[in-house]
Amino acid sequence: MTQYKNKIAVVSGAASGIGYELAMQLAQKGCNLALIDRNIGGLEKVKEQIESLGVQCFIKDVDVSDNNAFIAFADEVIDKFGQVDFLFNNAGVSLIDSVENQSLEDFHWLMNINFWGVVHGTNAFLPHLKKSDAAHIVNVSSLFGLLSLPLQSAYNSSKFAVRGFTEALKMEMAGTNVSVHCVHPGGIKTNITNSAKISSPHVERSKILDDFNKQAKTTAEQAASIILQGIEKKKRRILVGSDAKLLDRIVRWFPETYEKILGFEKGVIAKRKAD
């Protein structure tokens, strides 16, 4: 059984959403936390909540796209706690737009956070994790790391990249003390989509957000619980939500036609005809 009491966990994107719930549930299990987010005000509130549970919490404003900043943070965590046992690379952002209309600047911005943030976190903490008796690296991909969707090319690219990186890392860590997990959440009730960047005026933001919020059935609290259960079961791939499980099956059964079966192209064709 995975032990959390008196262990040290690092969580990125911990001021809200899944990251916040992971931090709280780990704290409730007696785990000490090192948390990062760009929202330092949010982190300060999380720190108060966590310390009220009788565990330690270290917070820092760190840009996960900055490798040197991540390495410096890792050094601070080791200076404070002397060890690290869990790494949750959770921070992420969203960009909704077509390949034709989205700016490369926005594409680079998203990849630097969603993909390079995972690589930087792993690079910074892996040497320390290898010194733990039993360590875990948990990288958050997405349902969109299993299938693609129109207007999500940048997000899809980042999450497929996280999946590929994580699965390779898992193989490289075989036979070591480091377990590696890739998380694929489906529709989760968080603000990542509601705060998505849209660089083109041609995208109907309100309709996309309405559709997402109607379909998002899993809460962040439930998602965090499923992730921790997946770690307990030593799962390589952790699917979060019934939608993720169903769509994963459909993609595996129909890899060449899933977009037609799921109707992903209908809206694109209808819009093109209307234009």
> Among all residues, which ones are annotated catalytic?
155
In the DSSP assignment, the letter for residue 58 is E
Which of 143, 158, 152 has its CA nearest to residue 96?
152
The pairing of strands 135-140 and 188-189 is unpaired
> Token pair for residue 28?
């409730």
What gap in Å lies between CA 128 and CA 125, rounded to an integer?
A: 5
Left, alpha or beta for 197 (phi > 0: left; psi -120 to 50: alpha)?
Answer: beta
Residue type, 39: N
Query: DSSP states of 118-176 as a string?
Result: HHHHHHHHHHHHTTSSSEEEEEE--GGGTS--TTBHHHHHHHHHHHHHHHHHHHHTTTS
> Token pair for residue 81?
């706690």
What gap in Å lies between CA 98 and CA 150, rounded to an integer?
A: 7
Which of 93, 96, 60 has its CA nearest to residue 212?
96
